[in-house]
């Protein structure tokens, strides 16, 4: 069964409000993406396995813990890049692999143009990063690629999601966990999330027409 975690923390709501505002400039938009990425990462990592070892503090020896699992971060180009750096600050030893996809404007289906996943030695946990889970097409392709690699624990991190995308991802990959800042109302006829926040990639990289 798909695990869906929606952030209800006051800070998440605060930063989402700024993110959604069409008057928010790119530099502030990027900062809100950064802050929300960290909040999502904290929730998405709270059940990771730990291993214990000893260190010497300035006063004595003690046993401490560190993350035991090998983690891969997989941003979907290009908008997913906006979530990478803040998560790497929290998990500096994580690997970063890239998947490139764009949406066909006629069919709203994803077209893959780049895949940089190895063929063996899979990570134990994979985080798929995409600010928007709209139809879920690109994310479903990414999840399938991770599973072909051999990753058995796949988690999706998105800033906002549409119910239709969550349902489609659940039907195809019911074992995948979804961490999202907010679940919005619906997709419109053009398959954009409503109320949404516009095109995340364009707003992150300041490429709006």
Active site residues: 103, 107, 199, 202
Q: What count of other Cβ atoms lies within 10 Å of the Cβ of residue 115?
A: 14
CA distance 114 to 97: 11
Are 153 and 124 contacting, i.e. CB atoms less than 8 angstroms apart? Answer: yes
CA 31 to chain CA mean position, Å: 16
Task: Please give the backbone phi and psi of residue 66, each rounded to the nearest 5 degrees, phi first.
Answer: -140, 160
Are β-strands 71-77 and 153-161 bridged in parallel, bridged antiparallel, or unpaired? unpaired
Q: Which residues contact 62 (CB under 8 A, 6 or more apart)?
A: 54, 55
Which two three-digit tokens encode residue 78?
A: 């290009």
Taking the C-alpha atoms of residue 12 and residue 159, their distance in angstroms, rounded to an integer, is 10
């Amino acid at each position: 069964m798909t695990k869906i975690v929606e952030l209800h923390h006051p800070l998440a709501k605060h930063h989402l409000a700024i993110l959604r505002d069409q008057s928010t400039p790119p530099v502030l938009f990027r900062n809100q993406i950064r802050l929300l990425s960290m909040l999502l990462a904290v929730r998405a990592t709270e059940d990771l396995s730990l291993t214990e070892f000893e260190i010497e503090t300035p006063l004595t020896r003690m046993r401490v813990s560190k993350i035991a699992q090998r983690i891969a971060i997989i941003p979907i180009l290009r908008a997913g890049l906006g979530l990478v750096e803040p998560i790497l600050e929290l998990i500096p030893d994580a690997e970063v692999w890239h998947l490139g996809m764009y949406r066909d404007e006629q069919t709203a289906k994803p077209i893959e143009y780049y895949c940089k996943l190895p063929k063996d030695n899979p990570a134990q946990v994979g985080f798929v990063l995409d600010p928007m889970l709209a139809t879920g097409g690109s994310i479903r392709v990414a999840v399938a690629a991770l599973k072909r690699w051999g990753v058995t624990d796949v988690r999706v991190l998105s800033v906002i999601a549409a119910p239709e995308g969550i349902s489609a991802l659940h039907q195809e990959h019911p074992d995948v966990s979804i961490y999202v800042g907010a679940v919005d109302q619906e997709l419109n006829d053009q398959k954009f999330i409503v109320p949404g926040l516009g095109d995340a990639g364009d707003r992150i990289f300041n490429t709006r027409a």
